[in-house]
Structure 1
Amino acid sequence: MAFKYFLVVCLSYYLVVSNVNCERGDCATVTTGFGPMKYMKVGTGSTILVLLDGTLGDIVADNFERIYNDFDHSKYTIYQVDLPGYGGSRTLVAPKKYSNRDFPPEFFERDADAVIQTMIELNVEKYSVLGWGYGGTVAMFVASRAPDNVVKCVSWAAKPFSSKTLVAKEKQRLKVPVKDWLPEVLGKQTLSHSIENIEEAFKGLTEAWESLLNSDNASPKQCLSKLSTPTLILYGKNDPYADSNLIQEIRNYAKNTAVILFVTKKHALHKLDKFAPAVKDFLDSNDYKMGGDVVEIDCTDQDEREEEEKQKKREEQKKLEEQQAGSSK
Structure 2
Amino acid sequence: MLRLVKSVRMFNIRNTSLGCRIKQHMSTGPLQTNGAKAPGHKVDVLGYTVHFEVVGTGGQPVILLPGAIGSTRTDFTPQLEKLDRNKFTLVAWDPPGYGFSRPPERTFPPNFYSRDATVAAGLMKHLGHKKYSVIGWSDGGITGLVLAAMHPEQVDKLVVFGAQAYITEHDVELLEATKDISKWSDRMRAPMIALYGEAYFQDLWSNYCVFYCGMLSRQNGDICRKELSRIKCPTLIIHGEKDPLVPREHPDYLFKNIKNSKLSIMPEGKHNLHLRYPDQFNKEVMEFLTN
TM-score norm. by structure 1 comes to 0.72
Is the 2:71–2:94 Cα contact (8 Å) retained in structure 1?
Answer: yes
Q: More helix by proportion, 1 or 2? A: 1
Displaced runs of 4 or more, over 4 A: 10-13, 15-19
- In structure 1, C-alpha distance between the alignment counterparts of 2:38 and 2:204, rounded to whole Å: 23
> Which residue number corresponds to residue 287 of structure 2?
281
Structure with the greater alpha carbon radius of gyration: 1
How has the CA–CA distance of structure 1 residues 138 and 223 changed in structure 2, closer, same or farther, with 3 Å as cutoff?
same
1:209 alignment counterpart:
212
After superposition, residues 127-276 of structure 1 pair within 5 angstroms as 127-174=132-179, 176=180, 178-179=181-182, 181-214=184-217, 215-271=219-275, 272=277, 273-276=279-282
Is the contact between residue 29 and residue 39 of structure 1 (CA under 8 Å) also seen in structure 2?
Answer: yes
Q: Rate the CA distance shift 1:278–1:140 in 2: closer, same or farther, 3 A.
A: same
- 1:41–1:80: 8 Å Cα contact kept in structure 2? yes
Do the aligned partners of 2:118 and 2:147 also contact (CA within 8 Å) in 1? yes
Q: 1:54 aligns with which of 67, 71, 92?
A: 67
The structure showing larger relative contact order (alpha-carbon pairs under 8 Å, at least 6 residues apart) is: 2
Encode CA deviations 1:25-48: one digit per residue, 9 max, x unaligned. xx2111012511111000111011
Distance 1:84 1:16 in 2: 14
Q: 1:147 to 1:88 in 2, by over 3 A?
A: same
- Whether the aligned pair in 2 keeps the contact of 1:54 and 1:135 (CA below 8 Å) is yes
Letter of the 2:69 partner, please give it: L
The change in CA–CA distance for 1:70 and 1:172 in structure 2 (over 3 A counts) is: closer
Call closer, same or farther: CA 1:218–1:180 in 2, change over 3 Å.
Answer: closer
Per the alignment, residue 14 of structure 2 pairs with none
Matched, 1:101 2:106: yes
* CA deviation profile, 1:59-117 (whole Å, cap 9, x unmatched): 343x32322333221111100011111111110xxxxxxx4321101121111111111
Listed as ranges, the gaps of 5+ residues in structure 1 are 1-9, 92-98, 286-329
Structure 2 equivalent of residue 120 of structure 1 = 125
How many pairs are equivalent? 262
- 1:166 Cα deviation from its structure 2 partner: 1.8
| Alignment-derived partner of residue 12 in structure 2 | none
Distance in 1 (CA, whole Å) between partners of 2:53 and 2:285 is: 21
Percent identity over the alignment is: 26
Structure 2: gaps (5+ residues): 1-26
CA contact (8 A) 1:100 1:197 kept: no
What's the Cα RMSD here? 2.4
Shift of 1:222: 1.7
After superposition, give the CA deviation of every residue in 1:102-133 in whole Å (9 maximum; x if it has no partner): 11011211111111111122222111010112
